[in-house]
Structures are given as C-alpha cells and as structure tokens.
Structure 1
C-alpha cells in the first residue's frame, strides 16, 4: 500500500478509536450523573420519610418539629412488662379512666398538686411512648399516662407515684437536661407509694 494511503488509513483508525473513546467517556459520564441523581433522590426520599416520623414523634412529645420544645424537658416512667401497643391490642388491664387514676392515687398517697393528668391512646402518643420504652411522661404542662400504665394495679401505682415525683421536681424548678438524677429520685420513691397502697387497700 502506498505510504500516503497507509497514513490515511492509520489516521482513520486513530480517529475512529478517538471517537469511540469519546463516546464511551460521554456514556460513562451520563451513567455516573444519572447514578448520582438517583442516589441523591433516594437519600432525599429516605430523609423525608425519616423526618416525617421524627416530626410525628416530636408532636406527640409536645415538641415543635425541627427543634425546640413547647413543654420543656420530658421525663418518663418505664415500669411495666407490656408495651402500650400490646395493652391496646390485647385489651388487658384496668379501666383507663379518671376514676381509676383518682382511686389508686388516693390509696397510694399520690398528690399531683393540681397538675393535669390525662390518659393518652392516640397512635402518635402510643408510638412516642413505645419509642421511648415508657408507660407515661411528665413535662411542664402535665402528666400523660399511656395504656401500659394500666396493665395491672402495681404498675399503675408505681407509675402514678413516679410521675408525681416529676411533678414536684418541675414545680420546684429542679428540671435540667441532666435527667438521670431526676429519674433515679422518681424510681427510688416508687416502693414507698407501693407500700402505702398495699397498707390502704385492705
């Protein structure tokens, strides 16, 4: 083959290879960009779902979504073998009424000092309490008792006594974000309320 034609053929091959490499690079970039977009969208979707769950839990806890609390530091009682959801699904326990609360509070010598005490059973409240592993919660706005607080007599007495200690802590202005000592104090008081209840119920 004449030298000129060889040179032209080599150039054509080189151009073809270069074109192929360019196309491959463009395809790779496109796939990479699509992959990154897909990953980014997936992360956004997961973040959105996670945030929705967090917002529901914050709302049930008396908190503003996105940060900050409406009701201050929240303290909990974690007595009981069954979760709130289990008590609801199994239909077990004491009647979840104000009369039940008043009856056992009187027998156990529990004083909530005028603080509101309510029973909560909504899906959000149950999800929040079970997320915390708790049967009740107390903040500056009052006491909320979940279904699991009523699973049996002693659990209710312990819960009422425990939360009443948190009421006193709030009213005395002793609440801090270091909740460990506050919870220790409330748990330590439970046996005293149980002993009073046992002495008065007969």
Structure 2
C-alpha cells in the first residue's frame, strides 16, 4: 500500500472504536505502513492528520513495541502537531511510552526509549502543560512528567509550579488530577 492509498483509507476512520481498531490492526499486520502512517500524521495542517494520529494511538495501545524503530522520527516531529484532535493521541502515545519505560515488567521500550527520546517527550509535555491545550493532553502530560521526574530531578519542582499556577483557571478534571500529582510529589519529599 502506498502512502497515497493509506491516506485514502484513512478517510474511512471515524471516532468509532471499531474503525480505529480495524486500521490499527491493519498497521500492526503490515509494519511497513508505520512510516507512511507517521508521514500522514505529521502533515499537521491536513484534516486527515488527526485520523492518522487516532490509528497510531490505537496501534501503540495494542502493540507499543512496534514504535521502537520509529522513535527518532516520532519524537523529532511530534512537537509540530497542533490540531486538537491530533494532539490528544500524540500526548497519549507519549504517556504509553513513559509508562512502559517505568514499568516493573521488563519490555523492549526500556532499552529502546533513549535519553534523546525522553528529552523530546519532556519538552512536548511541558509545552502541552503551558500552552492552551485541552484537558486530556495536559492530563497525559502530567502523568508522563511525574514519572520522568524520577530520573530528572528538576521536573517535579517545575511541574508543581505549573500545576499550582494554573490550578484556579482549569476544569475540575484538571484540578483533581493536579491535586493527585502534587500530593504524590510533595508526599515523596517528606
């Protein structure tokens, strides 16, 4: 399947779980399509970009290790994504990666997610936290940054600063998540 053919196929992807899963499994069954999917995902001004992001997120949810050969390309380009409906899945994939990296269960992400990848994730997560993003990317970023703060001691103080600064202006969902993260960070210090 060419990039153009995959682009055409993505026209059929909608918000339904069945469609996203169908195309995610198509990509998993044909890993040679991953670079093409990412290419479409990073056509950041195109209306099909979010559909590629949805499929990519589902693919990573089903089989995260498929992303390993593409981590350089993904992490070097993810900051370009700006359409709300594409930002959320990108933030979710970052959270998947970080959770797998810190998992107690051994997995290939732990050796595949290099410091340069983690630093790009930190950068994009802080961008999501300080920019005018919806709650979901902020929530995924909060979790990712909390975990990454285990290895980068400057992250937790910065994260707490942002969470406390933005607390009053955010939704109740943000506040609940922020309270939880702040409590975990401050509880760890005592």
- Greater share of strand: 1
Interval containing the TM-score (normalised by the shorter chain): under 0.3
More helix by share: 2
Greater Rg by CA: 1
Greater relative contact order (CA < 8 Å, ≥ 6 in sequence):
1
